[in-house]
Amino acid sequence: MELALSPIALYHFHKAGLYGALANIVAIPLTTFMIMPLEALALLFDLAGLGGPFWWLAGLALSLLLGLAHLTAAAPSAVATLPSMPPGAFGLMILGGLWLLLWRSPWRLWGLAPAVVGAIWALATPSPDLIVTGDGRHLALRTSDGSYALLRERAGDYVRDLLTETSGSGEELALIDSLPQARCNRDLCSADLLRDGVRWRLLATRSSLLVPWEELRDACAQADIVVSDRRLPPACRPRWLKADRALLQRTGGMTVRLGKSPGVETVKQHYGAHPWVRVTAVKRGSATTTP
């Protein structure tokens, strides 16, 4: 059951529990045959003021259920995390699983081939170096040790969970300010990255205050990637990618992989294949990446 559900959970939520089905073998009967009947009896005897013993027994059963949940969650490798996998890898795993389930002859074993290829493809997919939310306000930057750092300290739990799941790290996000290669003030944050021997410079805005035009122009010219939740002026021309409000409104959030062969993947590239959605492609390699 876990093998069947894990590819679906990892593709949509970037995490999957490995012992959930095993724990439910105990949790579901415990809930069905002990907790729910005890609560029903407690409510019934409450009419006469005699429900106390049943509530006490129900409390014990609930404590047992919670203990089982904590034990499962604390088990080694209880949760598997994975960054966003390619749709092709997910499709191969699903195709292989369906082939194994639908056939009843030795032919069914051929389904292992696409399932294994899809799993290897998904596991080999590198984590993104940069994750940008669709509004441009938040980003997560992968550090040299594989963890991720957040641009804004006042990011809510939803944004933190979103960036953590997309990155597949499963760890608490640090702040870019704490990185030795970053230089930040209240309005701008700059960080230097080294990927596959190639040095990249990131520049991001993190306040609603206007930056002096000349300073912004010069800072953009020295950066390879600029991220902002505002519409930046045409004079802001980074060397590779300009992900400001004008671009992000058309592409949605994006992940960026750096190195010798950099690439950008956007939300609408993967989830925009609907008749009511306009898909915007991102050109790569230009001074200001535009749709």
Q: Is 13 exposed, middle or buried (0-12, 13-18, 19+ CB in 10 A)?
A: exposed
User: Within the chain, which residues score under 70 in pLDDT?
Assistant: 170, 270-291
Identify the pLDDT of residue 275. Answer: 61
To the question of pTM greater than 0.85 for the whole model, the response is: no
Identify the pLDDT of residue 62. Answer: 96
Identify the pLDDT of residue 281. Answer: 55
C-alpha radius of gyration, the chain, whole number: 25
Residue tagged 């902002």 (tokens) = 228
Distance CA 60, CA 129 (A): 47
Helix (H) or strand (E) holding 133: none
Phi–psi pair at 87, nearest 5 degrees? -60, -30
Q: For residue 64, give both structure tokens.
A: 């047992």
Identify the pLDDT of residue 170. Answer: 66
Q: For residue 196, give both structure tokens.
A: 């596959």
Identify the pLDDT of residue 284. Answer: 46
Identify the pLDDT of residue 65. Answer: 95
DSSP SS3 for 243: strand
Which of 159, 88, 84 has the alpha carbon at shortest distance from 129?
84
Distance CA 271, CA 90 (A): 14
Q: What is the pairing mode between strands 198-205 and 225-227?
A: parallel
Q: Is 58 exposed, middle or buried (0-12, 13-18, 19+ CB in 10 A)?
A: buried
Task: Concatenate the DSSP letters of all residues of 75-109 into one string.
Answer: STT-EEE--PPPHHHHHHHHHHHHHHHH--SGGGG
CA dist list (Å): 111 to 1, 75, 140: 17, 31, 37
pLDDT digits (tens, 9 = 90+) for 272-288: 556 655 555 555 444 34
Given a contact cutoff of 8 angstroms between Cβ atoms, the answer to whether 258 and 200 are in contact is yes
Identify the pLDDT of residue 120. Answer: 93
Query: What is the residue type of 161?
Result: D
Identify the pLDDT of residue 186. Answer: 84
Query: What is the residue type of 150?
Result: L
pLDDT digits (tens, 9 = 90+) for 187-223: 888 998 888 888 899 999 888 778 888 888 888 999 9
Identify the pLDDT of residue 278. Answer: 59
